[in-house]
Amino acid sequence: MAFIDYYKVLGIDKNASDEDIKKAYRKLARKYHPDLNPNNPEANKTFQHVNEANEVLSDPEKRKKYDQYGENWKHAEEFEKARQQGRAKSGSYGGTQDFSEAFGGSFGGFNEGNYSDFFESLFGGGARRSSSRTAGKYKGEDYNAQLQLNLTDVAKTHQQVLTVNGKKIRITIPAGVKDGQVIRLKGHGGHGVNGGPNGDLYITFVINNNTSFKRDGNDLYTTVDVPLYTAVLGGDITVDTLDGKVKLKVKPETQNGTKMRLKGKGLPVYKKESEHGDLYVTFNVKVPTNLTPRQKELFEELAKLG
């Protein structure tokens, strides 16, 4: 059984912090994502390893078990149970003799060459050769992946095709999904062991803002320029929204920084596409430049009247 060093997969050392793990994972996940390497099986394989490594090392409890038991960290409880049973049977293992020593080697670290084979014998292959032991069923690895979307993609429910374990799966992405939100695709992780269920696939959404809007929940915020003359005398301006342009009526004597709310012009509420947030528009009154002599004269007259 080939051993995969998850620390090497992510390019970090064993003392890496949680933030180091997160940064390394994001960088590699983007580089080897199947959508960016559609005809590269090696990239797809690396992407799977990166997801497996992140799944284990980003979880403190799993990481602790992995540091001690390596690739077979999921069998840690069975190993400890067997160790205790071995110590209890003084006739079989020499009383105080350590359980691992009874097998002729040290299993304290995951760099031992026969480490994976030992566990396979203890919990897998050996069970098939012994009528007194039954191989356990174990759930497959859970995978983690990132899916990058543009803010405009979030405006409507849509479908995308992902490549997982060399297979293409079609998923529906509900409108209004948020940056950092995670969804689970049951059964799309690693294969189960000894007939156990497959693991799950957890997808984290990364929302890139490809608009001039600022997002806050389901609400959007934007700033638009208003000509000085329109602000003073009133008039109409055109404002962009996610679903097109709309006309806004500017009241006479509108002040700089005035805000207007366009109800229902924000993003859809997650899994409630009929409900929307609002769009808040802030007016930025523009002072004219490069005035003609006549324009300056008129402003001077206004100043005297004021």
Please determine, for residue 18, whether its predicted confidence score (pLDDT) is greater than 70: yes
Half-sphere exposure of 189 (CA within 13 A, CB side): 24
Q: How far is CA 33 from CA 24, 97, 245, 276, in A?
A: 14, 49, 35, 32
| DSSP state for residue 44 in the 8-state scheme | H
Query: Mean pLDDT over residues 90-111, rounded?
Result: 38
Q: Is the pLDDT reported for residue 96 higher than 60?
A: no
Q: What is the pLDDT of residues 264-292, one digit of tens each?
A: 999 999 988 889 999 999 999 999 888 89
Give the pLDDT confidence score for residue 69 in this predicted structure.
74
Residue 139: predicted pLDDT: 85
| CA 204/CA 153 separation, integer angstroms | 15
Least confident of 51-55, 75-79, 94-98, 276-280: 94-98
Give per-residue pLDDT as tens, 197-251: 988 899 999 999 999 999 999 999 999 999 999 999 999 999 999 989 999 999 9
Is pLDDT at 166 greater than 50 in this prediction?
A: yes
In one-letter notation, the amino acid at residue 208 is N
pTM to 2 decimal places: 0.54
Q: In angstroms, rounded to a whole number, what is the distance separating the alpha carbons of residues 259 and 254?
A: 10
- What is the band of 87 on the pLDDT scale with cuts at 50, 70, 90? low
pLDDT digits (tens, 9 = 90+) for 128-140: 333 334 456 788 8
Where is pLDDT greater, at 299 or 71?
299
Q: What is the pLDDT of residue 126?
A: 39
